[in-house]
Chain A
Amino acid sequence: NAGVTQTPKFQVLKTGQSMTLQCAQDMNHEYMSWYRQDPGMGLRLIHYSVGAGITDQGEVPNGYNVSRSTTEDFPLRLLSAAPSQTSVYFCASSSSYRTGPSGELFFGEGSRLTVL
């Protein structure tokens, strides 16, 4: 079973470049989210979506865009990469109850991004 698939697994960018991290899930989950993980900071929520056509900001949204045109896909776009965006990025999905995600987030394997 595929679960949550993230691509690419590794990427090196130069400052100012743009790129898109892809995320796809095959579990028909309504809820999808992006986190970044940095040493000493833990996982921080960037953006999330509760269904196709609906997105919202998390704790650290600046410098990132998202869209949710289908239930399966939730790409994360870096518009103009900065060294501060060097991090490990995780996409996660969950079935969603009315008051929020069910709690069991299924994570992708992560994307390690370095911005020089």
Chain B
Amino acid sequence: RKEVEQDPGPFNVPEGATVAFNCTYSNSASQSFFWYRQDCRKEPKLLMSVYSSGNEDGRFTAQLNRASQYISLLIRDSKLSDSATYLCVVNMGWGTDKLIFGTGTRLQVFP
């Protein structure tokens, strides 16, 4: 089983739609969780961290479910500019400095 797994998509949604991505991780000792965004042929950039209590940043909401070992990203009112690949990133537990990336979920928002 991969350490971090995501549905590769693509998710094709119209503008204004709500879309959600999930990401599962294998290491129950993982402590830090993040969502990164990567545009085509560009470097990844941090979108948001994921906290135990869940967190929201404008149209984006991230949640963590430790019992089921997954994190989620919800995008409301999708914009054309949201089209990108969304990468789930997990720190492999206490005392380790490894950040492991999922393969990414591609989102395409159409007019």
Contact = CB atoms under 8 A, between A and B. Distances in A.
Contact of B49 (A48, A103, A107): A103
A103 B87 contact: no
Contacts of B102: 42
Tier of interface size on chain B: 20 to 34
A107 B95 contact: no
B17 interface: no
Interface residues of A, number: 26
Nearest to B45: A107
Of residues B49, B95, B99, which shows the largest number of chain A Cβ atoms within 10 Å of its Cβ?
Answer: B99
Interface in B79-99: 87, 89, 91, 94-99
Interface of B: 8, 31-32, 34, 36, 42-46, 49, 87, 89, 91, 94-104
